[in-house]
């Protein structure tokens, strides 16, 4: 809810703000923060009293230079009260008051410029508004900040994925170059964190550029940005105050547009089991993914992320396996798989139909206006389908999680996946990157051998770092061999009702207190020699509290308990580069704060027939039985076809009871290949809805080839590829369809064939109408390093022919197979057992003789 209190128009200086001899000055104040705006000889400057000296600001367009020659016209003031609720973050319920002033100017050729300034107790921000209608092209800003040269600085050398190492320097000594947001400076006893908010496809992202001294200027990602006016640029934000004010600030969210999603009940933060970091090949292994799912179900983790390498042939059934156990599946995608309207309109509904709960979208790697326009397209498309999102290889948070609450987290950090963890860097993030929004660091990783952190430090990261999806990144066996760590992880929330910095200094230590419901969590990490960490407990309500602490001991992790009260001091011995986690709950006589982890009860769903063959538009009679073998009870049970049909229901099922139904299902018109007709049982368990699904697999045969045919001209019944899609009449290329080169083997280009990247396969329908298959096989000439593959031909699952290992230097290898009587022809490529790098495999002139 936004409450706007508009004050009378002010046409003069703010009372108490004296005019300089050569110009005008105004202040906009809220609590301890006062922004100062100056107009001197037609040029604007902005600063924050006592922290940031006034520095030049302004904007240039192709129509007017509004960095000078400005004349003051008017000022108006209002108070903006922001009350809103987040789905993620350091504080779910937000209530902030901002003082806003709009200063209107005229400049070059009578062009208008409004400067909008907002100030709260946490800091100050400004934006430009070009109020004229019609097209506008911005060619740059003179926006800048003046920082005392000797001010300590924590800076991130700029890269478009924000994954460079942070540096500790001073404002003046920092090397000339570009730095990413946010940037932190200590000016006397006050901190200033520079950031930006409300960036979308109307504009471009920006960065700080430093040429020398203490001046840091804003530089856009593009030479120019174009939009339709009126145009409001992003907010230039300075969070100022003591370190607690900066760390706890929500100013970048407060300045962002309100949520565009009315119903956020489907947005569900939580812990995620993720296998890619600890075992890169595992996302391609459905058996291994089911083991992670089983682990997540046993420990109450609501998600498993299946990263790069998954295959459409097994993901739907894996999703069904997970959902029946109360676990939802997240899938990784390269952003180019969703960079066109056609791809989004095809891929997103398909993933939703599989039951996928959310997406990790990767490798955007740009702050350009074009890329922000892509964000503008993917965000409403995913929200409409209720698909949650994690942006990896992405820009840093700029208020997006307020506007689009289904964005659970963003990477924009040099996280654990870099396989080099340093305690000193870890203690910088809470005061910089994580201030502005969810940070997908992927913590708690013992598999990272190159680290100087202790076990307790690793566990504490799951509290110290805020992320709506907390991807715990080690293999699950490593958690099971550390039962005290796993016990703590199973209890930790990922969203918070309150956050308070208790102590810390960037690069040395952090101790945070976070509240979820009636429980507090205090966690600390250090980059110092062994010492005691102390935390005042003045934030606790009255009464007695049980404090359970997990910390480093002499021989591994140890757990300690004590009774505390408000005002006590918690003292925890911390090892060098160590950490701790303390759970605090109202003391009721229990020896632990732990809440029981109760897995979803095992159920069964059978369908008859499990498989069938039919033509498009035909019907299939299906019977289904849903059973709770033991345990329960479960409530609000419903059994029905996913595509619609009269459900059968039961208010309650107890152990040993079943629910059955029968339906006549119709095969979709136009279907080809394997089509699933799912039957779904849902029920309520401990306040959550559990989804159990089984499908009748119906094979819909396409027309068999009537004459000889190129394989690349036949419809695919199924395909998988090691990178990007299988290409028709092109080499493998990159992630997008159709981006390959001509199929070329040893200098000869071939107009027809298939381009694959091992491991890969394609299945086509022959319908027993063909007699032979021929192709020239080999590694495409585009490969610059040695690749090695094998080619295999299968008929109805039976091996028919193979090449053995072929390498980049081998000549093209003719491959033939007798396919008499074969209904399904499968062409498969493997990586020859040495990994898939450079394995671009061509089936040149692949052809079947039919008729």
One domain, residues 651 and 743: no
335-382 pLDDT per residue, tens: 999 999 999 999 999 999 999 999 999 999 999 999 999 999 999 999
Distance CA 153, CA 506 (A): 10
In a domain? residue 406? no
Q: If 0-12 CB within 10 Å is exposed, 13-18 middle and 19+ buried, where does residue 5 land?
A: exposed
pLDDT of residue 833: 86
What single DSSP character describes residue 423?
Answer: H
| Catalytic residue flag (residue 362) | yes
pLDDT of residue 23: 83
Residues 6 or more apart whose Cβ sits within 8 Å of residue 625: 604, 605, 606, 658, 659, 660
In a domain? residue 560? no
One domain, residues 691 and 780: no
pTM of the model: 0.91
- Cis, bond preceding 549 (omega within 30 deg of 0): no
User: Final residue of a domain: which of 676, 700, 724?
Assistant: 700
One domain, residues 687 and 717: no
We report the CATH number of the domain holding residue 626 as: 2.60.40.10
pLDDT category, 22, cuts 50, 70, 90? low
In a domain? residue 522? no
Q: Are 779 and 841 in contact (CB under 8 A)?
A: yes
425-473 pLDDT per residue, tens: 999 999 999 999 999 999 999 999 999 999 999 999 999 999 999 999 9
pLDDT of residue 13: 37
pLDDT category, 703, cuts 50, 70, 90? very high
Distance CA 545, CA 553 (A): 23
One domain, residues 751 and 778: yes
How much is the mean pLDDT over the chain?
Answer: 95
One domain, residues 42 and 128: yes
262-302 pLDDT per residue, tens: 999 999 999 999 999 999 999 999 999 999 999 999 999 99
Q: Are 194 and 237 in contact (CB under 8 A)?
A: yes
pLDDT category, 7, cuts 50, 70, 90? very low
One domain, residues 796 and 726: yes
pLDDT of residue 590: 95
One domain, residues 696 and 713: no
In a domain? residue 230? yes
One domain, residues 86 and 177: yes
In a domain? residue 475? no
Q: Are 53 and 47 in contact (CB under 8 A)?
A: yes
User: Final residue of a domain: which of 641, 674, 700?
Assistant: 700
315-344 pLDDT per residue, tens: 999 999 999 999 999 999 999 999 999 999
Q: Which residue has the higher pLDDT, 423 or 20?
A: 423
Distance CA 287, CA 282 (A): 9
Question: Which is nearest to 693 in space by CA: 352, 355, 387, 356?
Answer: 355
One domain, residues 627 and 691: yes
Percent of the chain exceeding pLDDT 90 equals 92
One domain, residues 625 and 743: no
Residue 1 pLDDT more than 80? no
How many domains does the structure of the chain reveal?
A: 3
pLDDT of residue 838: 80
Among residues 82, 248, 328, 362, the one annotated as catalytic is: 362
Distance CA 692, CA 626 (A): 9
Segment 300-307 shows an average pLDDT of 98
Among residues 328, 417, 761, 792, the one annotated as catalytic is: 417
Residue 16 pLDDT more than 50? no
In a domain? residue 229? yes
One domain, residues 744 and 665: no
In a domain? residue 379? no
User: Final residue of a domain: which of 700, 725, 743?
Assistant: 700
One domain, residues 763 and 793: yes
pLDDT category, 766, cuts 50, 70, 90? very high
The range of the structural domain enclosing residue 77 comes to: 2-254
Residue 565 pLDDT more than 90? yes
We report the CATH number of the domain holding residue 773 as: 2.60.120.1060
Longest dimension (CA), the chain: 97
790-799 pLDDT per residue, tens: 999 999 999 9
Percent of the chain exceeding pLDDT 70 equals 97
Q: Which residue has the higher pLDDT, 736 or 212?
A: 212
We report the CATH number of the domain holding residue 228 as: 2.70.98.10
pLDDT of residue 650: 98
In a domain? residue 448? no
């Amino acid at each position: 809810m936004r409450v706007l209190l508009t004050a009378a128009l002010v046409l003069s200086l703010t009372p108490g703000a004296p005019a300089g001899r050569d110009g005008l000055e105004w202040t906009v104040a809220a609590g301890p923060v006062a922004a100062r705006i100056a107009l001197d000889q037609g040029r604007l400057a902005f600063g924050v009293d006592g922290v940031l000296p006034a520095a030049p600001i302004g904007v240039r367009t192709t129509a007017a230079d509004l960095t000078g020659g400005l004349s003051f016209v008017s000022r108006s003031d209002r108070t903006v009260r922001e009350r809103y609720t987040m789905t993620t973050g350091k504080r779910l319920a937000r209530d902030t008051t901002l003082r806003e002033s709009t200063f209107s100017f005229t400049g070059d050729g009578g062009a208008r410029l409004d400067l909008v300034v907002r100030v709260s107790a946490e800091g100050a921000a400004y934006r430009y508004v070009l109020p004229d209608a019609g097209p506008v092209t911005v060619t740059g800003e003179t926006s800048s900040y003046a920082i005392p040269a000797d001010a300590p600085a924590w800076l991130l050398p700029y890269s478009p994925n924000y994954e460079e190492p942070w540096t500790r320097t001073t404002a003046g000594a920092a090397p000339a170059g570009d730095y990413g947001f946010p940037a932190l400076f200590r000016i006397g006893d006050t901190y200033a964190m520079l950031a930006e908010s409300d960036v979308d496809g109307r504009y471009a992202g920006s960065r700080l550029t430093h040429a020398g001294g203490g001046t840091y200027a804003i530089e856009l990602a593009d030479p120019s940005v174009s939009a339709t006016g009126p145009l409001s640029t992003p907010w230039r934000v300075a969070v100022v105050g003591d370190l607690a004010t900066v760390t706890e600030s929500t100013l970048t969210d407060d300045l962002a547009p309100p949520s565009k999603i009315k119903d956020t009940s489907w947005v569900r933060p939580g812990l995620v089991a993720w296998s890619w970091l600890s075992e890169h090949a595992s996302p391609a292994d459905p058996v291994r993914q089911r083991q992670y799912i089983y682990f997540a179900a046993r420990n109450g983790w609501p998600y498993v992320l299946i990263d790069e390498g998954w295959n459409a042939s097994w993901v739907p059934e894996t999703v069904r396996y997970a959902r029946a156990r109360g676990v939802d599946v997240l899938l990784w995608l390269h952003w180019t798989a969703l960079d066109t309207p056609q791809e989004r309109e095809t891929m997103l509904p398909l993933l939703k139909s599989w039951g996928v709960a959310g997406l990790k979208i990767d490798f955007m790697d740009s702050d350009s206006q074009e890329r922000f326009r892509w964000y503008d397209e993917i965000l409403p498309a995913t929200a409409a389908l209720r698909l949650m999102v994690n942006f990896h290889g992405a820009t840093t948070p700029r208020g997006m999680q307020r506007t689009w609450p289904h964005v659970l987290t963003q990477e924009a950090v040099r996280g654990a996946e870099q396989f080099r963890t340093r305690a000193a860097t870890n203690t910088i993030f809470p005061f910089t990157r994580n201030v502005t929004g969810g940070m997908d660091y992927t913590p708690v990783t013992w598999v990272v051998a190159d680290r100087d952190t202790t076990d307790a430090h690793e566990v504490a990261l799951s509290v110290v770092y805020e992320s709506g999806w907390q991807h715990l990144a080690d293999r699950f066996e490593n958690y099971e061999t550390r039962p005290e760590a796993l016990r703590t992880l199973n209890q930790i929330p990922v969203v918070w009702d309150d956050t308070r910095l208790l102590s810390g200094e960037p690069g040395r230590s952090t101790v945070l207190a976070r509240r979820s419901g009636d429980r507090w969590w205090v966690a600390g990490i250090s980059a110092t020699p062994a010492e005691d960490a102390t935390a005042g407990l003045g934030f606790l309500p009255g009464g007695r509290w049980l404090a359970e602490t997990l910390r480093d001991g002499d021989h591994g992790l140890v757990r300690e308990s004590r009774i505390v009260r408000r005002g006590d001091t918690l003292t925890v011995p911390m090892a060098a580069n160590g950490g701790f986690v303390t759970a605090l709950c109202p003391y009721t006589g229990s020896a632990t704060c732990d809440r029981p982890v109760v897995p979803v009860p095992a159920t069964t769903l059978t369908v008859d027939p499990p498989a069938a063959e039919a033509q498009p538009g035909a019907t299939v009679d299906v019977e289904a039985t849903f059973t709770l073998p033991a345990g329960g009870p479960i409530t609000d049970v419903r059994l029905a076809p996913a595509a619609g049909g009269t459900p059968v229901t039961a208010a309650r099922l107890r152990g040993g009871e079943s629910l059955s139904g029968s339906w006549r299902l119709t095969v979709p018109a136009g279907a080809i290949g394997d089509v699933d007709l799912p039957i779904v049982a849902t029920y309520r368990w401990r306040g959550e809805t559990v989804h159990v699904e089984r499908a009748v697999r119906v094979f819909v045969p396409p027309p068999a080839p009537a004459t000889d045919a190129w394989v690349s001209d036949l419809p695919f019944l199924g395909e998988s590829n090691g990178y990007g899609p299988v290409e028709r009449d092109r080499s493998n290329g990159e992630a997008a369809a159709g981006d390959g080169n001509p199929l070329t083997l040893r200098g000869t280009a071939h107009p027809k064939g298939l381009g694959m990247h091992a491991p890969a396969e394609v299945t086509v329908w022959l319908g027993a109408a063909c007699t032979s298959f021929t192709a020239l096989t080999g590694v495409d000439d585009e490969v610059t390093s040695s690749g090695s593959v094998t080619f295999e031909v299968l008929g109805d699952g039976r091996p028919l022919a193979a090449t053995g290992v072929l390498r980049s230097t081998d000549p093209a290898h003719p491959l033939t197979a007798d396919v008499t009587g074969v209904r399904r022809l499968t062409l498969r490529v493997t990586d020859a057992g040495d990994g898939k790098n450079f394995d671009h495999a061509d089936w040149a002139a692949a052809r079947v003789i039919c008729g």
